[in-house]
Structure formats: structure tokens, C-alpha cells
Amino acid sequence: MSLAQDALPGLAPILPRHDWTRAEVKALFALPFPDLIFRAAQVHRANFDPAEVQISTLLSIKTGGCPEDCAYCPQSAKFDTGVKAGKLMDIEAVLAEARAAKAGGASRFCMGAAWRSPKDRDLDKVCAMVEGVKALGMETCVTLGMLEAAQARRLKDAGLDYYNHNLDTSPEFYGEIVSTRCYQDRLDTLDNVRAAGINVCCGGIVGMGETLEDRAGMIAALASLPVHPESVPINMLVQVEGTPLSGAPRIDTFDFVRTIAVARIAMPASMVRLSAGREDMSEETQALCFLAGANSIFYGPKLLTTPNPERDRDMRLLDKLGLKAME
Ligand code: SAM
Ligand code: DTB
Ligand code: SF4
């Protein structure tokens, strides 16, 4: 427990609510910036040690060639982005990366595949990867696209801790971003993952040309799930040339921080991840995100296909802010 938390006795844990309306979420976005950050910081420290940041490392275990058309994604086969399609990695190569991530200080290893949904043969290999990473003493997370209930149960049996599957934006903007699946498909997979007893990692992307209404709609959708996602990644769009969203108007920094703060308030017991987009973010912006309640990051020089800050740069930042890695 940090001194900061000791110094604020009487802050009882704030319990999650599942009846957030979009109007309430919009009202949070409309607060003056200092009020919003203050409220988010209060919620943060009522439920967490604000000096701790959870650290995950990502690995793309199957890159590119994806049949879906998500307008943000460099891995879609429909766009010419220069990402070369590869095969599913070998288990030993994945475990070598996991060992390196653990040595670098990550407590969770997240494996991503550019699939619409996994084939059963692929799932055999992914289950073996999950077992191997667990055996190293790390938490496991995978993101493989849409899952059937039985596939989710197989992953659970292999020891999977988290499944990442993002709602990405509001229900009404979703069709502008992806045409090869619909919002309900995402919700169905989230149900299957939850029913299998796997922790849910689910968030979205901002900076895709969405309105404030869409950002509020996304947070309201996440916060109205029957159980809040244990982990909520808030990604700032990484613009990749060749994707339809390359050249989209960039989100104002304060609006990004506001999105983090509103996610923190609406989902008080969840880990809020300051996710993609840190490579181009100043230290000051990242510090504001931590003040606004972000308590998790991706660590290591690569996300899936795009750059993330080098490890030593992140360690210097955490040191400067007096933050430490969560065990
Ligand atoms: N194919 C699976 C799926 O879509 O669920 C898993 C991999 S997909 C790359 C995982 C998530 O990465 C997406 O849902 C999206 O939120 C995020 N993402 C992809 N490209 C991004 C980009 N250019 N900027 C920010 N986030 C991105
Ligand atoms: C999430 O919400 N963000 C991560 C993780 N979940 C899988 C992925 C970000 C990808 C950014 C673009 C890329 O590197 O290809
Ligand atoms: Fe495929 Fe996932 Fe990229 Fe969409 S986000 S194109 S589903 S890899």
C-alpha cells in the first residue's frame, strides 16, 4: 500500500454499476477537465494502489493476411500496408519470447493472431502455447478473433487467464469501421468467453474520426456488460499508411485523457490500460493518463506490428513518476 493511499483513509472501495446510461457518461465527458481528473483519481485510489502499474508484453503469433476489413488495422489482407502475412509461430519460438518478456519485467504475456476466428487445428497449438507460458509463471492472454463457446472452454482448460476482444467504438459507428462482422458478433464472443470463466479484456480505439457521442456510446456499452471487463484497453489509433484511417483527424490529447478518466469512473474495479499510441505520446500526456486512472500498459518495443516505446524509456518514465510494476 502506498503512502498516497494511506494518506486518504475513508475511501471505501467503489462498487461497479451496470446501469450506466449514455447521458450519464456524456455528463462525465462534459465536466471541466480538473473536476473529471479529480473524480477519476478518487475512484482510482479507492480501488487500487495508484503507484502500481500492471505490465504486459504483446507478441503477434500470427501476423497479417486477415480476411476482415477493420479500417484501422495494418493486418487486414484488404489493405496494402506492407505487413507481410506469416504462418502461426512455432511453440518454442513463442516460449522464447515469453521468457524474454518475463526477464524484462512483464507479468502477463499477450499473444495476438490476425484471424477472423481460429480453426480447431490452430487452437491446438495456441492451447499448447498457453500451457507453456503459464508454466513460466506468467499470466496468459490471447486475442484470436471470434470464438465459439466450445473453443472458449478449450482455452480455459489450457489455463488461459484473459481473452482480449474489443468493442472498439459505439454500436452505431461500428459499421463505418468494419463491414465483415457486426457489433453483436463481438458481444456473442464476449458472452462465450465470460461463460467459460475466462477474464475479459475489452476496450476500444479513439482517434478514428468518431464523435464524442461515439466515445460515450463505447464506454456506456462496456460499462453495461453484465460483468465489467477485468481489463479495459483504451487505444489511441496508430495510423498506418495504406489503411483507410490513415490521415484521419487526430484526437486532441485532452480528449484522449478524458476517455481514460471516464473509463476509470464508469468501470471502477477494472484495470484501465493505456494501450496503443504511446510511441507518439509525450511523457506529460502519459502522466496525465496515469493521474486519470490508467494502471496498465503494454511494455516492450513492439505492439503487434507497430512500434511501442523502448523498455529503458518506459522504465525511466515509471521511475520519474515513482510508479512501480504490479507483481
Ligand atoms: N483479430 C483479432 C481481433 O480483431 O479481435 C485480434 C487482433 S486485433 C489486431 C486486436 C485489437 O487491436 C483490435 O481489436 C483493435 O482494437 C486493436 N488495433 C488494431 N490495429 C490498431 C491500430 N492501428 N491502432 C490502435 N489499435 C489497433
Ligand atoms: C489492444 O486493445 N491493443 C493491442 C492488443 N489489444 C492486442 C493491439 C494494438 C495493436 C496496434 C497496431 C499494431 O501494432 O498492429
Ligand atoms: Fe483482422 Fe483483428 Fe486486424 Fe480486424 S483487427 S483486420 S480482425 S487482425
Among 62, 75, 174, 275, name the best residue to mutate to test ligand 3's pocket (greatest count of ligand atoms within 8 A of Cβ): 75
| Among candidate residues 52, 43, 49, the one with its CA nearest the CA of residue 11 | 43
Q: Which three cell numbers stand for residue 92?
A: 518454442
Mean pLDDT confidence for 173-191: 98
Residue 327 has pLDDT above 90, yes or no: no
Task: Give the confidence band of 15 by pLDDT, cuts at 50, 70, 90.
Answer: confident
> pLDDT tens across 157-168, in order?
999 999 999 999
Of 209, 281, 291, 298, the residue nearest 258 (C-alpha): 291
Ligand 3 neighbourhood includes 75 CB (under 6 angstroms): yes
Ligand nearest to the CA of 241: 1
Region 93-110: mean pLDDT is: 95
**Whose C-alpha lies nearest to ligand 1, atom 2?**
145
For 77, other C-beta atoms within 10 Å of its C-beta total 15
Distance CA 289, CA 258 (A): 8
- Is the beta carbon of 265 within 6 A of some atom in ligand 3? no
C-beta 109 within 6 A of ligand 1: no
2, pLDDT greater than 90: no
pTM for the whole thing? Answer: 0.96
Burial of 256 (0-12, 13-18, 19+ CB in 10 A): buried
What pLDDT, in 10s, does the model give residues 265-321?
999 999 999 999 999 999 999 999 999 999 999 999 999 999 999 999 999 999 999
- pLDDT(152) > 70: yes
pLDDT cut 90: percent of the chain above it: 93
Mean pLDDT value across the chain: 95
Q: Which of 113, 129, 106, 112 is nearest to 56 (CA)?
A: 106
Give me Rg for the CA atoms of the chain.
19
Q: What is the pLDDT of residues 71-83, one digit of tens each?
A: 999 999 999 999 9
Average pLDDT (104-133) is: 96
pLDDT band (50, 70, 90) for residue 11: confident
**Confidence band for 105, pLDDT divided at 50, 70 and 90:** confident
Is residue 10 predicted with pLDDT exceeding 80? Answer: no
Per-residue model confidence (pLDDT) at position 3: 47
Which of 304, 286, 302 lies closest to 294 in space, CA to CA?
A: 286
The closest of 285, 307, 287 to 53, measured between CA atoms, is 287
